[in-house]
């Protein structure tokens, strides 16, 4: 009987344990992707990006003599129906670690087993599954450095090669058409803008990774913070959808052994840390990880003028606006800029980190539930191993340090430039008309002065402590 391979955030062929296991036995494999409520609720940019990924992945499967069957509905019901249609005897998938996926997958597993269907889940999204990394006393790590130390030299299983041709079932079940799902519908910013900056799919991911290891890894440790340079791996969007395997990246970098490759592995370990935290303390996604932060006088009102100015990248603080514009146009933002825009929102503007986290979840093509939540809570000070609240990034000194010749600022801020570049102008093409923005407007005054915002944030923090 055929095996249904239920794909979710693992849109690749190489180093895919569930796929390898399914292909090995020689049974027909039926690859399926289900648009369920959870997937349907994705933010505009990640949902659009998912559509791009599915299109590439379906083509890659066709090259293997297979297909990607698309179905919409509640996973459990869709799978049951497919089993009836195809006579499949098993469903395999790669594990996810967020609370909603865990709840859904456990229910699916039980229902399938009750029906006498084999239900098997596999590793694949992480280098180390959350329960395999423990402190000496048995709990999970709440601080990054000792966690990194404990996994840094650990031996890992070798990555798996791509399977050969996949056996097709005698007849293929029907599939929805990807276009009918309209996964890009909420991208009212004109997806073409982001599209110009995005190369989806496993082949592009491999190419980017090869480029990074050959050309950039050596300088990664010294240049990764320079916001205007293409000096980082750029793999986050691929890792988010599983178009490349984290284990494979880890293994190649470990073999390389150079300083840059080691620093890269340390960053991958931050992703692992985020997943460990989400798995063990899922409240990190929705509330202060440090409960003593509950009641902090954050402004939670989305409609506040300051929040709108921040979202529209018109705070009047150039590095903050540049980062936010980069995200709106490309679907990505440099890590250093992410920290600075997040610090400005949570400290200078005293807005709740959740507002920022949700805006990122709508705008990022590399959106990842665990890394996004950890990143925001880290900057806000409410998270594990977080920057202390009194560490308020100063966007001006950060710009002098990490963008000394203002390349990044000029790339993204058109106002006031005699001859702004195409990227700076593309922001104004991308934003909805209702935002009423023009590159000819004078550049705004800061919505909150740097000194005044910093002092207000520190005063609120002091007051809570006393
Ligand atoms: P590289 O520097 O090449 O790093 C390699 C890989 O390591 C990345 O692809 C990523 O998977 C991982 N990594 C690097 N830094 C971090 C980090 N701080 N936390 C977790 N993993 C990391 N990353 C996301 O993938 N999705 C998000 O939604 C996301 N939201 C963030 C929100 C905030 C407020 C902050 C401060 C950071 C966020 N990050 C997020 C982490 C980080 O900014 C991005 O992973 C990184 O910028 C991606 O670029 P890169 O692939 O070139 O990274």
Q: What is the pLDDT of residue 132?
A: 97
**HEC sequence for 405-453:** CCHHHHHHCCCCCCCCCHHHHHHHHHCCHHHCCCCCCCCCCCCCCHHHH
Q: What are phi and psi of 35, to 5 degrees?
A: -90, 95
SS3 content of the chain, % helix, strand, coil (to 5): 55, 5, 40
What is the CA(72)–ligand 1 centre distance, in A? 30
Distance of CA 406 to the CA centre of its chain: 27
CA angle 314, 226, 271 (to 5 degrees): 90
Looking up tokens 């349907």 gives: 40
Degrees to nearest 5, angle at CA 73 with 72 and 74: 145
> Would you say residue 72 lies in a domain?
yes
| Full domain range(s) for residue 254 | 126-155+191-280
Whole-number Å distance, alpha carbon 71 to ligand 1 midpoint, is 31
Pair (225, 272) in one structural domain = yes
Radius of gyration of the chain (CA): 23
Do 253 and 370 sit in the same domain of this protein?
Answer: no
Burial 194-203 (b: 16+ CB within 10 A, else e): bbeebebbbe
Q: Identify the pLDDT of residue 8.
A: 98
Q: How many independent structural domains does the chain possess?
A: 3
Q: Whose CA is nearest to atom 46 of ligand 1?
A: 335
Q: Is 293 left (phi over 0), alpha (psi -120 to 50) or beta?
A: alpha
Q: Are both 71 and 138 inside the same structural domain?
A: no
On whether both 349 and 252 belong to a single domain, the answer is no
CATH number at 105 reads: 3.40.50.620
If asked whether residues 265 and 304 sit together in one domain, one would say no
335 CA → ligand 1 middle, Å: 6
| Ligand 1 neighbour 270 (Cβ under 6 A) | yes
Whether residue 119 is found in the same domain as residue 131: no
Q: Are residues 306 and 333 in the same domain?
A: yes
Compute the distance from residue 88 Cα to the ligand 1 centre, in Å: 39
Query: Per-residue pLDDT tens for 365-389?
Result: 999 999 999 999 999 999 988 778 8
265 in a structural domain? yes
Dihedral sign computed on CA atoms, order 364, 366, 369, 371: negative
* DSSP E strands, 78-146: 90-94, 118-122
Residue nearest atom 8 of ligand 1, based on CA coordinates: 236
Show the low-confidence residues of the chain (pLDDT under 70). 190-191, 465-466
Q: Do residues 295 and 365 both lie within one domain?
A: yes
Inside any domain, residue 319:
yes
- Looking at the structure, tell me whether residues 260 and 336 fall in a common domain: no
Please say which residue of 280, 307, 325 terminates a domain: 280
- Among the candidates 251, 280, 309, a domain finishes at 280
Q: Establish how many alpha carbons lie within 13 A of residue 46's alpha carbon, considering only the half-sphere containing its beta carbon.
A: 24
Candidate from 148, 233, 236, 351 with most ligand 1 atoms within 8 A of CB, to mutate = 236
367 Cβ inside 6 Å of ligand 1: yes
Does any ligand 1 atom lie closer than 6 A to the CB of residue 379? yes
CATH number at 239 reads 1.25.40.80
In short, whether 148's Cβ falls inside 6 Å of ligand 1 is no
Q: Residues with Cβ < 8 Å from 284, sequence gap 6 or more?
A: 277, 278, 370, 373, 374, 377, 383, 384
Atom of ligand 1 nearest to the CA of 342: 34
Top mutation candidate among 375, 387, 391, 402 for ligand 1, by most atoms within 8 Å of CB? 375
Domain assignment of residue 183, yes or no: no
369 C-alpha to ligand 1 centroid (Å):
11
d(CA 224, CA 260): 10
Q: What is the predicted pLDDT for the residue at 192?
A: 76
Q: Is 263 in the pocket of ligand 1 (CB under 6 A)?
A: no
ipTM attached to this prediction: 0.99
- Closest atom, ligand 1, to C-alpha of 237: 25
pTM value is 0.97
Ligand 1: atom nearest CA of 212 is: 3
Please work out whether the CB of residue 235 comes within 6 Å of at least one atom of ligand 1: yes
Q: What is the pLDDT of residue 189?
A: 77
DSSP classification of residue 240: H
Encode pLDDT of 11-64 as tens digits. 999 999 999 999 998 999 999 999 999 999 999 999 999 999 999 999 999 999
- Mean of all residue pLDDT scores within the chain: 95
Ligand 1 site, residue 335, Cβ cutoff 6 A: yes
**Nearest-atom index, ligand 1, CA of 333:** 47
* Nearest of 3, 25, 9 to residue 92 by alpha carbon: 3
CB distance 239 to ligand 1 below 6 Å: yes
Looking at the domain assignment, is residue 115 inside a domain? yes
Asked, for residue 173, whether it belongs to a domain, the answer is: no
Task: Report the CATH number at residue 393.
Answer: 1.10.579.10
Of the three residues 243, 259, 280, the one that is the final residue of a domain is 280
Q: Are residues 137 and 265 in the same domain?
A: yes
Binding-site residues for FAD sit at: 220, 232-236, 264, 366-368
Q: Whose CA is nearest to atom 48 of ligand 1?
A: 236
Sign of dihedral through CA atoms 192, 52, 271, 74? positive
Nearest CA to ligand 1 atom 29: 372
Q: Is residue 331 part of a domain?
A: yes
254 lies in the same domain as 328: no
233 Cβ closer than 6 Å to some ligand 1 atom: yes
pLDDT at residue number 208: 98
Residue with tokens 């029907």, as numbered in its chain: 174
Q: Is 121 in the pocket of ligand 1 (CB under 6 A)?
A: no
Q: Please, what sign has the CA dihedral across residues 319, 324, 326, 327?
A: positive
Same domain as 313, residue 244: no
- What's the pLDDT score for residue 387? 76
Query: What pLDDT score does 465 carry?
Result: 67
**Element at 29 (helix H, strand E):** strand 29-35
């Amino acid at each position: 009987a055929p095996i249904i391979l239920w794909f979710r955030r693992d849109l690749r062929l190489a180093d895919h344990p569930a796929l390898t296991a399914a292909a090995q036995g020689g049974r027909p494999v039926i690859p399926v992707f289900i648009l369920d409520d959870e997937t349907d609720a994705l933010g505009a940019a990640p949902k659009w990006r998912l559509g791009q990924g599915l299109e590439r992945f379906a083509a890659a499967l066709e090259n293997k003599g297979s297909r990607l069957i698309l179905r919409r509905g509640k996973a459990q019901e869709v799978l049951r129906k497919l089993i009836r249609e195809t006579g499949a005897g098993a469903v395999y998938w790669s594990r996810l670690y967020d609370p909603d996926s865990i709840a859904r997958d456990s229910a699916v597993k039980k229902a399938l087993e009750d029906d006498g269907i084999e239900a098997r889940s596999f590793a694949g999204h992480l280098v180390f599954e959350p329960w395999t990394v423990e402190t000496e006393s048995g709990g999970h790590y709440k601080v990054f450095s000792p966690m990194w130390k404990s996994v840094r030299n650990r031996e890992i299983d070798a990555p798996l090669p791509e399977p050969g041709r996949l056996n097709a079932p005698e007849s293929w079940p029907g599939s929805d058409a990807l276009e009918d799902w309209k996964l890009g519908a909420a991208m009212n910013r004109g997806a073409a803008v982001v599209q110009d900056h995005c190369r989806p799919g496993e082949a592009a991911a491999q190419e980017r990774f090869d480029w990074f290891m050959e050309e950039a890894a050596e300088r990664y440790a010294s240049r990764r913070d320079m916001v205007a340079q293409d000096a980082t791996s750029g793999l986050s969007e691929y890792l988010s959808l599983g178009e490349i395997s984290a284990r494979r990246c880890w293994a190649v970098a470990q073999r390389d052994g150079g300083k840059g490759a080691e620093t890269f592995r340390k960053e991958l370990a931050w992703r692992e840390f985020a997943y460990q935290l989400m798995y063990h303390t899922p409240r990190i996604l929705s509330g202060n990880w440090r409960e003593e932060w509950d009641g902090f006088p954050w402004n939670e009102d989305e409609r506040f003028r300051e929040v709108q100015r921040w979202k529209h990248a018109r705070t009047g603080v150039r590095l903050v606006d540049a980062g936010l514009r980069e995200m709106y146009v490309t679907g990505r933002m440099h890590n250093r800029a992410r920290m600075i825009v997040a610090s400005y929102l949570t400290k200078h503007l005293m807005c709740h980190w959740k507002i920022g986290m949700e805006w990122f979840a709508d705008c990022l093509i590399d959106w990842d539930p665990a890394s996004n939540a950890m990143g925001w809570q880290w900057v806000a000070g409410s998270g594990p191993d977080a920057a202390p609240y009194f560490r308020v990034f100063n966007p001006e000194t950060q710009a002098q340090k990490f963008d000394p010749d203002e390349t990044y600022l000029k790339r993204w801020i058109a106002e006031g430039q005699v001859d702004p570049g195409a990227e700076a102008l593309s922001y104004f093409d991308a934003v909805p008309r209702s935002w009423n923005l023009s590159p000819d407007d004078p550049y705004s005054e800061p919505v909150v002065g740097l000194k005044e915002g910093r002092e207000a944030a520190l005063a609120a923090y002091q007051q809570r402590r006393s």
